Structure 1
Amino acid sequence: MFVGRADELDTLNDALARARAGEPQALLLGGEAGVGKTRLVEEFAAAAGRHAVVAVGGCVEIGADGLPFAPFSAALRALRDALPEQFAAAACGQEEELARLLPDLGEAGAGRHDEQGMARLFELTARLLERVAADRPVVFVLEDLHWADASTRHLLAYLLRTLRAGRLLVLASYRSDDIHRRHPLRPLLAELDRLRTVRRVELARFTREEVGRQIAGIIAAEPDPDQVDDIFERSDGNAFFVEELAVAAWEGCCTGLTDSLRDLLLVRVEALPERAQRVARIVAEGGSTVEYRLIAAVAGLTEDDLIEALRAAVGINILTVTAAGDGYRFRHSLVREAVADDLLPGERSRLNRRYAEAVEADPTLVPADARVMRLASYWYHAHDAAKALPAVLAASVVARRRHAYTEQLGLLERAMELWDSAPEDVRRVLRPIDCAEVYPPCGCDPATTPLRYLDLLAEAAVAGRFGGERERALKITKRALRLLDEEPDPLRAAWFWIQRSRLVQSLARGDGWPELATAQDLVRGLPPSEVHAEVLALAANWSMLHRPGAEAFAAAERAVEYARMVGARDTELHARLTLAGLQVDAGDFETGLAQMRQVLADTVAEGVDQVAGRAYVNLPSELQSVGRDRESAELLREGLAYARAHGLLDSEPWMWCNLSESLYALGQWPQAAEAAAHAARGGHGAQPRGSGALRLAYIALARGDLAEAGRHLAAARAHYGTHDPMPQHSLPLARVTLGLAAAQGRVADARTELLRALDAGFPPGTQRYGWPLLLAAATAEADTRTVPAAGPGREETLDRLRETVRGLTTGAPLWQAYEQWTRAELLRAQSTDSADTWSPVVTAFESLDRPYDLARVRHRLAGALLAEAGAGDDERDRAVELLRLSGAVADHLGARPLADAVARLAQRARLTLTRAARQALAPADPAAALGLTMRERDVLRLVSAGRTNRQIAEELFISPKTASVHVSNILSKLGVSGRGEAAALAHRLELFPAETAPAPSAG
């Protein structure tokens, strides 16, 4: 009898209905052991099978070792069996890669092993499920996540984060009482809780009424109320305990039963005949499920005796037959755990040895895809180092080929643990190729060179980095470098310092340069090698990001040369990409861009996905830097498709960042915000999330949403941190910080930010970030030119700006246009600009594909035309047209500061515009929008003129105390901290245009 769970079933059925309608669903089902999770899933799956394909996979426990991707492998196999044609079509062309999860598809390809390897597999799996579920609903069930290996957890997190299409319901269950504070599933659950697409269902214990109904179903009779009370009290509503207690009471073996959990779980096992108890102990140590032939080989019983023992255990529901009908498992894992825990230490190691010997004698006893992993586990728990070390190394290779890098790391750590215990003659025959396929180059033949302990450390460090276990990897490199201090090997030491550099940067412990510099010192003077080429390539790339210039250029050239000499193709392509980017930044645009295009073509053709992903990021970025945003956007969309197809998880968020920047420049702000949100979402690295947040801050600032801009700016700063400063981050941060301070009337803060950036300087190649910053600073100074409180430090700031403008590169048409604009703003800051100043700026931007920038300079030109003495009809007509165009762009983009400035200028100049233009440009009353009363406007006007409270009181015939109260209220309503900021804000909003200079305010 299925008892209760009506609300939970409703939730599951609702999720299935949504999935059937084409809205992918994800549910996490939690509950303590024995509370009824499996029964609920079975009940739901039986009903769901009428409308959908149900594919179930469970996490496997063998001793303490989970098999990599076990639940996904089992569920995918079930899905393929149910929909063979649809599955084959969805997997077409990707069978070699998907075979890492489902070996039935064929031999897994050699593939590439890098940080992107696991990501590629994850992306292909997610898209496979989407395609299979495109036409028919699929319920994809993963049970017992508390046993899940790290790779399974990572894949599940990726799948739930990226579910976009398909009639798919993912249902995963786990034991909530097993998830202690340090359990590895705990952070995953916290991460998934933040996803709006994932729902949690917690299974509560039964009520007394439900316990009574359960007991009635078990004994097929109405139970005695006192017995129900007793069992409910002792079981506390746990469904499994209710069943055990009810059966014990029914069978009359309740007398003497203790309240100990283990005793409760073992009481029925101990009631079995001795032979059946022995078989139960064998099955308990064999794993979650054990094949019948393997049980027979380990038990050593006659077939009749074995079947009789198994029948006894099955008969009282201790064991049950597996779905495939070829083996046995405990009906409930709690009983298996209790039986396994009851084994004596010597008994446990003996059973594991017998399991290992049986599998070695007849490998067909277990499935081929699980054989190596199970042998490694059996021999390890048999405490036989001579047998365990080779088995564990073989298992580490299998884990690596499946991209299960965290499991590979765990196995390699076991190998390190076994190393000293294994006999010398066993270690002597091991080779590096027994450990991994990719190895730190040392100039020796891995097929003939004996494996060393240092080699295990090298492979473990890489596995840790690829699998995200960077803290463990960092400790491993430290141990390796201590060994290399005792036995110097410069090439290997340099290789480990490279790994440390990468790990330090990814862990936010520093910028990685001291480690790279140490590696450079170690290889200096050595013959060319792959390590040498990689050190040079990484140093060149680091310098391009942190200290671009001649030194970075020279390092990139040497890296290309060395990589070609030693045939390190990947390193060569990386170095060529760096060199080409430096060429663009140095002003040799066409040569550099052509080289980058060639690298992109080469990497795509040769299948060097990681470098191709970087090329799809860097080439569009360089196109943006010279103003070719439309071309950049087209290439980025192509790159995003490539990244999704090849699982380039690290490259994709950077592509979204760059796409947001291009779309912003092209005037497609809603799409730009969407792209930035993609980059800023959780799951990506800190730096692309910071860049995504910064792009959102840019958009919010241009739209006049200062509070939103401030929030995104703070998020960007938090993501970037202070451990790895780069001009490509610090200069855009300074630009938004300065712009926000100026918009809020904080003139002094804006100047402080500018001077900080000017003191740091603009390294070669950073003009793309430098020009917008200088322009924002010059605009802020021009906007506050008539504010008395803005005077201190003004001339010094303008002098520094003029000096910097003279020295910044202007090679590209975009940079030349920015230079003209910045110089024009500096003239406006001195009230010496004119129409002749702004006409060339408008002309420069008319040839660029940047509508917002063009609208801003058109507004400036209109203001200059109207400000000139004796402006005639022709000038006024031209100003009308310029304002009409600027206003239309501002309205389309939602750029309220520019729209309001255009409207105020048109209104102040009493221009005759069309009715539509008047409606589009009609300004809101900024003072009313700020909540200022008429008296507060009068006070603010005098504050803006530099009056003291006593002078305000005298002019308005109020007391100084009343004037002080008005000033305090004004500061609060404006959200500023002082009188100077209030005056600057009033000037920027043109609250009192008749009393200020006639030149227009900034857009």
Structure 2
Amino acid sequence: MQVSSPDVIGRKEELGTLDSALAGARTGRGGAVFLVADAGLGKSRLVRECITLAGDRGMAVLRGRATQAGATVPFRPLTEALFSIVRSGAVPDDPDLAPYRPALGRLIPEWRAGVPYEGDDSLVVLAESVLRLLSVVGRDRGALICLGDLQDCDAETMSIVEYLVDNLADQPVLLLASTRSAPSPALSLAQSSARHRVAQLLELGPLTDDQVDELAAACLGVDAGELPEGVARWLRQSADGNPFVVEELLRGGIATGALARTDTGWRMVENVPRDMPSTVASSVNDRARRLGPQWHRALQAAAIIGRRFPLAALQRVSGLTDDELHALVRAGTEAQLLEPSYSSPDWCTFCHTWTAEALASGVLPAERRALAAAAATAVESLFPELPDELCQLAARLRLATGDEPSAGMLYATAGRRALSAGAAASAERLLDRALELIPAHSHATARAEVLESLLYALTEAGDVEQALRRGADLYGSTLLAPEQRAELLTRLAWVCVVGGHWDKAAEQVALARRLLATCTAPSRLAPLDVVEAHLLTLAGSQGDDQATRAEELALRAVRTAEEVPLPATACQGRQVLALLARRHSFDDADVHLRHMFATADAHGLPIWRLRAQIRLATNELMRTGEAEQILLARQAAFALGAVTAGAQADATVAMQQVLFCEFAQAESLADKLWETTTRMHQESESQFCLVIKIAAQAHQGRREAMRVVLAEFRAHGGEQSFHAPVVFGHRAICALLGEDRPGAEAEMARVREWERTHPTIYYQSGRYGLGVLLEVLAGRAGRELLVETCAAPAAQLRWNLQFVLAAEAVLLGREKDAAAASARMADAQVAATPFPMGRHLVLRLVAEAALADGWGEPVDWLRAAEQHFHGVDVAAIAGACRAMLRKAGVRVMQRRTGIGAVPQQLAGRGVTAREFEVLTLLGERRANPEIAKLLFISPRTVEKHVASLLGKLGSADRRELSELVAELYL
């Protein structure tokens, strides 16, 4: 008899919470709910009810569960969940998802297209990919993803779950996760997420006595009032409010005759012990025995294998035929002992953890060891490669037989596989377990190899501190040869370089050098040379000595690596050589990058090939202003699944869009990048998104809007980052558009000071372009600075070139060579063709000098500049152009912003457009002379406007006028 309640008893409040959460996900207000409870209290039942509610709403449903495998299986719950939706064909072919499909191939084999994933191996990228997939699946209908038994979950899956919890608030997705109430990472996440109000926590307690009665009546198909008092008292005393135990006791009572149905209803039978079966274990075993001795023994063998077991292994251990095996699964399912696995048809699962534990508890220790040995042999013979979780299953079974060395070797194999799959944290756990089990005295070599793999896992996981501690132990160890230890220390040094830990990188390089002191094999030295070259280039002051040393090391490494070959080392070396070559020639840098591309292509290193392609495209973009190559590189990045590299290409494109005056496109792309990079905690990339937005406002002369973004930039530590000089350069542009020449010159001075003490990262910050023109215009520099600047390859980058050529034109004009000056100015305008704002800014700046020195066509230049800046509503510089035209004797039509720009409450009091301009500047606490300069009127006229405003607005003084402006913009 099936004994279960058709209704959920005692969980009305929890069901209401889940119903509301589903409704929120349907409208794009997703989130996460954690179900926390001890075994048997109803987590699984609530999950099933939630799935039913979601299905009734037409929502997409994904479901996965972690398993007890002795050690965790990376990504298993997510893989199972994503299988359920992908195999149903419910994933649309959405272009927004395309860049993330390669990364998702780590979880969905059908999306691998037979090619190993070679993109970003960051768990953050994978987490973002899962989030994007869920968002696409849930678009227009909502999605529910259920992840169960997270107390048994691997660290990688927990990282992704944490990422989802933090980022589902504005997605059409509800995450429902369940875990036991015993301490675990999953429980910690549930509790911390609830404290921070990014998830809801539902903790299930035991049922009350009345709820136990209600549940029992529902299971027996009667009204609660019809439940005999003896039955109710028996269940209240024995079940402790646990729904699973209630149902098990009822099943056992009916099966043993202690509970019988009569014509008048259910009753407890006299002379039959009412506590039979007194425990869940005896209830489960009694039910299994009733299937027959053969089935009972087979189920016990299955329980020894684990709650989830491969049917083929069970068949080999139990000796069942195919028909008998299928009959066992059917009988076990009908008896509510087993659940067939629809996601993995060759596996089966016990209905509950207690079910497997109860059956295993009836097996004597000696028989348990024998069954475990037979099961391990069966698994290893049936699946010689031991794929996926079978390797850990075999390890756990060998451990159950007492064979610790064999178990340790299997855990080591599983750990190496997890590492190759990008699951570094799981690999670390498995390899640590292997070290515990493999004896040092008889398996020294094997332990050394495991230790080596563990160190790789730690570096891949980014646990630099732990890796360094292990590395310190390794340095003095005799388990590995000095060359092997040096190789691992070199890898540690590279991790430190990538992470910006310069001092620690230098320490590892020094230790590795000592170990290789007597080594003459170039192939051993090349990887270390490359790391040290990067360290000298990125962390040093870039003085001539350091740069020369870095170049020598990199060249030596590249020659060796290309001969051996060591393709990855060769690519690393070419990368640093290209960076060093930029100081002398971007063409030389491209030569190294093309070598890097060819090496990566020849040896099947797609990520290194992509890195070369992006750097080549970036150089081309800066040289010519042509974006075709960077767009192709971006496309290649997303095709490969290199999301981080694709985002870097996007950032380059967005910054160039600012220079092209495509401000809306640039800010839209920057906003998308900001959303992704902040979600993925990519601090430097997020800072650069703000740099793009600062530049967009600066190049439109929007000083106040720029200041708002600047404040956010400072809050994110931007002024201490490598992005600082480019921000100074764009602030100089904004100052010039506001006719604040001293302010622009001060910003250029900050750029020069920064780059004096820091390695040059940005070549378009102004030092090699705008700054030179400003120095020449101010009369502080002449041919010497120009010659020095032109000797730098950065001066030939197209954005810089327009300013450098204009500076030379000004000098030629001062030297009274009008024809040469005009020709050079024409060259500057050709260079400035892609940059509308830059081109007209040069016209405005150079026209002043041309008027003074009598060369060129300054009137035409000023007219063009005035028309452009008036058209884009940059009033200060447009007004300056009109003022200079008048000074040159040219009649200029007055242009003013219309009365429609004046707020209604001010216009109603008679405030004019000009008075509103004055009032706005008063709000910025500007003095009369400064206002006069900005509006190109006399200080006396400003005084008249201020007096008029005081009268019209009833203000007592300038302070009240300033406060009025502040109120207008609240």
TM-score (norm 1): 0.68
115-124 vs 69-78, greater mean Cα deviation: 115-124
Q: After TM superposition, list the pairs within 5 Å mapping 1:105-120 onto structure 2.
A: 111=116, 116=121
Structure 2 letter corresponding to 1:150: A
* Structure 2 spans left out of the alignment, 5+ residues: 1-5, 261-274, 290-295, 902-912, 936-942, 948-955
676-685 vs 555-564, greater mean Cα deviation: 676-685
Counterpart of 1:414 (choices 423, 433, 436) is: 433
Separation in 2, partners of 1:804, 1:200: 60
CA contact (8 A) 1:494 1:520 kept: yes
Separation in 2, partners of 1:561, 1:777: 40
Structure 2 letter corresponding to 1:697: I
Separation in 2, partners of 1:577, 1:741: 37
1:532 positional shift: 1.9
CA contact (8 A) 1:741 1:749 kept: yes
Matched, 1:480 2:497: no
1:884 positional shift: 0.4
Separation in 1, partners of 2:129, 2:650: 20
Q: After TM superposition, list the pairs within 5 Å mapping 1:548-563 onto structure 2.
A: 548=542, 549-563=547-561
Separation in 1, partners of 2:606, 2:194: 28
Instruction: Give the match's secondary structure for 1:497.
Output: helix
Closer, same or farther in 2 for the Cα pair 1:868/1:269, shift >3 Å? Answer: same
Matched, 1:637 2:631: yes
* Residues 267-300 of structure 1: per-residue CA shift (max 9 Å, x gap): 4334455795997887666444235665677789
Instruction: Give the match's secondary structure for 1:65.
Output: coil
Match of 1:886 in 2: 869
Closer, same or farther in 2 for the Cα pair 1:502/1:595, shift >3 Å? Answer: closer
1:662 positional shift: 1.8
Match of 1:535 in 2: 528
Structure 2 letter corresponding to 1:645: A
Match of 1:71 in 2: 77
Closer, same or farther in 2 for the Cα pair 1:590/1:967, shift >3 Å? Answer: same
Separation in 2, partners of 1:298, 1:400: 32
* Residues 23-42 of structure 1: per-residue CA shift (max 9 Å, x gap): 9x976342223665533543
Match of 2:519 in 1: 526
Matched, 1:576 2:582: no
Structure 2 letter corresponding to 1:540: A
**% same residue:** 19
How many residue pairs align between the two structures? 873
Match of 2:293 in 1: none
Matched, 1:623 2:612: no
CA contact (8 A) 1:60 1:147 kept: yes
Structure 2 letter corresponding to 1:30: F
Closer, same or farther in 2 for the Cα pair 1:49/1:573, shift >3 Å? Answer: same
Matched, 1:702 2:708: no
Separation in 2, partners of 1:233, 1:739: 80
Match of 2:64 in 1: 58
Matched, 1:503 2:495: yes
CA contact (8 A) 1:266 1:338 kept: no
Closer, same or farther in 2 for the Cα pair 1:469/1:245, shift >3 Å? Answer: farther
Closer, same or farther in 2 for the Cα pair 1:413/1:870, shift >3 Å? Answer: closer
Match of 1:376 in 2: 395
Match of 2:292 in 1: none
Separation in 1, partners of 2:424, 2:808: 55
Counterpart of 1:174 (choices 167, 177, 189) is: 177
Structure 2 letter corresponding to 1:641: Q
Separation in 1, partners of 2:807, 2:243: 75
CA contact (8 A) 2:135 2:172 kept: no
Structure 2 letter corresponding to 1:702: H
Separation in 1, partners of 2:695, 2:514: 42
Matched, 1:818 2:796: no
Separation in 1, partners of 2:964, 2:522: 67
Separation in 2, partners of 1:488, 1:325: 44
Instruction: Give the match's secondary structure for 1:116.
Output: coil
1:683 positional shift: 1.0
540-549 vs 242-251, greater mean Cα deviation: 242-251
Separation in 2, partners of 1:41, 1:730: 51
CA contact (8 A) 2:725 2:750 kept: no
Instruction: Give the match's secondary structure for 1:359.
Output: helix
Closer, same or farther in 2 for the Cα pair 1:65/1:274, shift >3 Å? Answer: same
Two-structure CA RMSD over aligned residues (Å): 6.5
TM-score (norm 2): 0.70
1:374 positional shift: 0.9
* Residues 940-987 of structure 1: per-residue CA shift (max 9 Å, x gap): 989x9xxxxxxx9xxx9xxxxxxxx97887998999xxxxxxxxxxxx
Match of 1:948 in 2: none
Match of 1:929 in 2: 920
Counterpart of 2:506 (choices 508, 511, 514) is: 514
Match of 1:143 in 2: 148
Separation in 2, partners of 1:115, 1:934: 50
Closer, same or farther in 2 for the Cα pair 1:372/1:905, shift >3 Å? Answer: farther
Structure 1 letter corresponding to 2:570: E
Q: After TM superposition, list the pairs within 5 Å mapping 1:833-912 onto structure 2.
A: 843-848=827-832, 849-861=834-846, 876=859, 878-888=861-871, 890-891=872-873, 912=892
Counterpart of 1:359 (choices 349, 371, 376) is: 376
Instruction: Give the match's secondary structure for 2:224.
Output: coil
1:567 positional shift: 0.9
Match of 2:189 in 1: 186
* Residues 747-792 of structure 1: per-residue CA shift (max 9 Å, x gap): 899959946952761788667155358846986999xx9xxxxxxx
Instruction: Give the match's secondary structure for 2:223.
Output: coil
Structure 2 letter corresponding to 1:390: M
Separation in 2, partners of 1:353, 1:62: 21
Separation in 2, partners of 1:273, 1:506: 57
Structure 1 letter corresponding to 2:828: A
Separation in 1, partners of 2:896, 2:930: 36
* Residues 139-169 of structure 1: per-residue CA shift (max 9 Å, x gap): 7654344433233345667899999x9xx98
1:538 positional shift: 2.9
CA contact (8 A) 1:751 1:777 kept: no
Match of 2:658 in 1: 664
Instruction: Give the match's secondary structure for 1:562.
Output: helix
1:924 positional shift: 8.7
Separation in 1, partners of 2:619, 2:628: 14
Separation in 2, partners of 1:673, 1:927: 30
Q: After TM superposition, list the pairs within 5 Å mapping 1:705-724 onto structure 2.
A: 709-710=706-707, 712-713=709-710
1:611 positional shift: 0.8
Match of 1:12 in 2: 22
CA contact (8 A) 1:356 1:378 kept: yes
Closer, same or farther in 2 for the Cα pair 1:532/1:161, shift >3 Å? Answer: farther
1:659 positional shift: 1.9
1:881 positional shift: 2.8
1:219 positional shift: 3.9
Closer, same or farther in 2 for the Cα pair 1:877/1:264, shift >3 Å? Answer: farther
Instruction: Give the match's secondary structure for 2:699.
Output: helix
Separation in 2, partners of 1:387, 1:618: 48
Counterpart of 1:655 (choices 621, 640, 649) is: 649
Closer, same or farther in 2 for the Cα pair 1:936/1:858, shift >3 Å? Answer: closer
* Residues 436-456 of structure 1: per-residue CA shift (max 9 Å, x gap): xxxxxxxxxxxxxxx454432
Closer, same or farther in 2 for the Cα pair 1:247/1:858, shift >3 Å? Answer: farther
Structure 2 letter corresponding to 1:618: R
Instruction: Give the match's secondary structure for 1:761.
Output: helix
Structure 1 letter corresponding to 2:560: Y
* Structure 1 spans left out of the alignment, 5+ residues: 254-262, 429-450, 786-797, 945-951, 957-964, 976-1003
Matched, 1:768 2:763: yes
Separation in 2, partners of 1:339, 1:268: 7
Counterpart of 2:753 (choices 736, 752, 758) is: 758
Structure 2 letter corresponding to 1:152: T
Instruction: Give the match's secondary structure for 1:66.
Output: coil
Separation in 1, partners of 2:381, 2:59: 31
Separation in 2, partners of 1:130, 1:30: 20
Q: After TM superposition, list the pairs within 5 Å mapping 1:379-458 onto structure 2.
A: 379-380=398-399, 383-420=402-439, 424=442, 427=443, 451-458=445-452
Structure 2 letter corresponding to 1:758: E
CA contact (8 A) 1:884 1:917 kept: no
1:887 positional shift: 3.2
